[in-house]
């Protein structure tokens, strides 16, 4: 007499494994994990830029965090200078529009118009990071104040995962960052640009 599995037993085992595999993929949700990874990169990138700008402001004797090459935009009653890594809806004050600038240099011509190479110890950044997606929906934004607020700045990023986006109950970045726009993660020394 031969010992072995019948065809029905094998089909039942395969069906059980298929159901378990489907349940695991649904629970893990690899698409959401990739979105969370990109959001984590966004938070890390903006923290690094924020630290570099703060170092620049404290180290350089006559700092300037924007230049003539910035696109002047109207934001209500004040003038705000905006640079973005991709064209799209502005994260900044109503009425402000973004200009596209995906230059990553740290010599004042990048999308953050700060001459990091002027820091006495050298630039803390080799280059300015770009958003992991860098599309018209997901991009980094930079704005600085005008006039007496010329040293005020804000860095923004749009979050895409359920964990970090403002449209969910688990708002970690957008609504709790202290800024005035709950749809964007905001960091800087003036979060109302």
**For position 91, what pLDDT does the model report?**
62
- CA 94, distance to chain mean position in Å, is 19
Decide: helix, strand or coil at residue 115. strand
Task: State pTM to two decimals.
Answer: 0.76
**For position 4, what pLDDT does the model report?**
81
Decide: helix, strand or coil at residue 159. coil
What gap in Å lies between CA 126 and CA 105, rounded to an integer?
Answer: 8
Residue pair 171/133 in contact (Cβ under 8 Å)? The answer is no
Q: Which of 79, 108, 84, 111 is nearest to 98 (CA)?
A: 84
Domain ranges of the chain: 7-188
Helix axis angle, 7-28 relative to 30-59, nearest 10°?
Answer: 20
**For position 104, what pLDDT does the model report?**
86
What gap in Å lies between CA 108 and CA 102, rounded to an integer?
Answer: 13
Residue pair 102/130 in contact (Cβ under 8 Å)? The answer is yes
DSSP letter for 28, please. H
**For position 66, what pLDDT does the model report?**
72
**For position 5, what pLDDT does the model report?**
83
Q: What is the pLDDT along the chain (193 residues), one digit of tens a residue?
A: 678 888 899 999 999 999 999 888 888 888 888 999 999 999 999 999 999 999 999 999 888 887 544 443 333 333 344 565 444 555 665 545 566 667 788 998 888 889 999 999 999 999 999 888 888 778 888 887 766 677 888 888 888 888 887 555 444 444 577 777 777 888 888 776 6
């Amino acid at each position: 007499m031969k010992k072995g599995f019948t065809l029905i037993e094998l089909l039942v085992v395969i069906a059980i494994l298929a159901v378990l595999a489907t349940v695991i993929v649904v629970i893990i949700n690899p698409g959401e994990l990739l979105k969370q990874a990109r959001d984590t990169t966004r938070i890390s990138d903006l923290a690094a830029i924020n630290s570099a700008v703060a170092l620049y402001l404290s180290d350089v004797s006559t700092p300037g965090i924007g230049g003539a090459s910035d696109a002047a935009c109207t934001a209500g009653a004040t003038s705000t200078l905006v640079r973005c890594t991709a064209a799209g809806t502005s994260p900044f004050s109503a009425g402000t529009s973004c200009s596209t600038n995906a230059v990553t240099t740290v010599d004042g011509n990048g999308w953050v118009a700060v001459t990091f190479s002027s820091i006495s110890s050298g630039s803390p950044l080799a280059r300015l990071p770009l958003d992991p997606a860098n599309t018209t929906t997901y991009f980094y934004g930079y704005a600085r104040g005008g006039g007496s607020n010329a040293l005020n700045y804000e860095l923004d990023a749009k979050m895409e995962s359920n964990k970090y986006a403002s449209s969910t109950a688990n708002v970690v970045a957008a609504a709790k960052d202290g800024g005035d726009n709950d749809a964007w993660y905001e960091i800087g020394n003036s979060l109302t640009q």
